[in-house]
Homo-oligomer: A and B are copies of this chain.
Amino acid sequence: MKHLTTIVFDAYGTLFDVHSVSEKSEELFPTRGRQISELWRTKQLEYAFIQQIIGRYQPFDEITRNSLRFTCEQLGVTLTEEKEKVLLDSYLTLSLYEEVPNALKQLANHYHLAILTNGTLNMIQPLVEYHHLTPYFTQVMSIDDVKQYKPSPAAYSYALDRFNCKREDILFVSSNTWDITGASSFGFQTAWVNRKSQSVFDRMGQQPDHIISNLNELVRIVCY
A51 CA to B73 CA, complexed, in Å: 30
A74 in the interface, Cβ–Cβ < 8 Å?
Answer: yes
Q: How many copies does the complex hold?
A: 2
A181 CA to B50 CA, complexed, in Å: 8
A200 in the interface, Cβ–Cβ < 8 Å?
Answer: yes
B49 touches A205 (CB 8 A): no
Q: Return chain B residues, CB-CB under 8 Å to A151.
A: 50, 53-54
Interface size, chain A (Cβ < 8 Å): 35
A73 CA to B76 CA, complexed, in Å: 34
Distance in angstroms from A128 CB to nearest chain B CB is: 26
Q: Please name the residue on chain B nearest to A63 by beta carbon.
A: B204
Known: A47-B203, A54-B182, A70-B203. 6 other contacts (CB 8 A): A49-B50, A50-B151, A53-B151, A55-B153, A69-B203, A70-B200
23 contacts across the A-B interface (CB closer than 8 A): A43-B202, A47-B202, A47-B203, A47-B204, A49-B49, A50-B151, A50-B204, A52-B53, A53-B53, A53-B149, A53-B152, A54-B151, A54-B181, A55-B152, A55-B153, A55-B185, A56-B185, A56-B204, A66-B204, A67-B203, A69-B203, A74-B200, A76-B199
- Seen from chain A, the residues whose Cβ lies within 8 Å of a Cβ on chain B are 43, 46-47, 49-56, 58, 66-67, 69-70, 73-74, 76, 149, 151-153, 178, 181-182, 185-186, 198-200, 202-205
